Amino acid sequence: MRPKASDRLVVALDVDTVNAALALAELLREEAGYFKIGMQLFCRQGARAIEALTGAGFNIFADLKLHDIPNTVYAASAALAEQAVSIFNVHALGGSAMMAAAVEGAHRGAGCKSKVLAVTILTSLARRQLEAELGMSGSVEETVERLATLAKRSGLDGVVASAKEAGRLRRLLGPDFIILTPGIRPDWAAAGDQKRISTPGDAIKDGADYLVVGRPITQAANPREAARKVVAEIEVALEQIEES
């Protein structure tokens, strides 16, 4: 069963302290289904940030983009699963053996239920950077599809991908493969440093399951009201899908 509108919202806790993260999550407890702990908070506060948030009953997406040799990723994945994160991610560019090791690590313990997603291409990158800086030929869309297909074959639960690729990925990989989409910017918010962005409604209609939203909510004058506006856009899109 697909999650309801508010459960699809993942709020990015891009803050420096555990107390700030807890305060923000408590403020938005009724408005969002998940909260993202990324590298900013994790590198400052470590695993205790995850422990504090999961201990307070929040569903956590650990956005740490694991990318190392398979044995190291296996151990890190097991640690994240044992800390009861709901979702964590790895880089698809680590290859099939590394991704399979992440799944194995996440399932090591009997009570471990973390979903493992693969990052395909960062939403801050465009084709020019892929070709000129990284030496990767082909369009962004083709590269994302190739990496997402590899992730599914490696046993992962889904991918992190731009809404611009969500529709094609949904058709390619089926209805049960999770698509978590960053780079979400409502019409009333600034784009910032994101390149491949989409509105909440468009992302849902394009096939995304979960939407990561940070600054448009967390830096708003009224974060709770901003979150409610995003959820309302998601709800409208879901109704339009049902009617079509």
Please give the model's pTM, rounded to 2 decimal places: 0.92
- How would CATH label the architecture of 6-243? Alpha-Beta Barrel (3.20)
**Residue 132 pLDDT > 80, yes or no?**
no
Catalytic residue (choose from 36, 65, 115, 152) = 65
pLDDT band for position 235 (50/70/90)?
A: very high
Half-sphere exposure in the Cβ direction for 172 (13 Å, CA): 21
Query: Is the distance from CB of 46 to CB of 21 less than 8 angstroms?
Result: no
> With 0-12 CB in 10 A as exposed, 13-18 as middle and 19+ as buried, what is 223?
middle
Helical spans, DSSP H, in 64-218: 70-82, 96-106, 127-132, 140-153, 163-173, 200-205, 215-218
Residue 128, pLDDT score? 83
Domain ranges of the chain: 6-243
pLDDT band for position 112 (50/70/90)?
A: confident
Q: What is the mean pLDDT of residues 218-239?
A: 95
Q: What are residue 159's DSSP bridge partners? A: 118, 179
The predicted-structure confidence for 57-82, as pLDDT tens digits, reads as follows: 999 999 999 999 999 999 999 999 99
The answer to whether residue 4 is catalytic is no
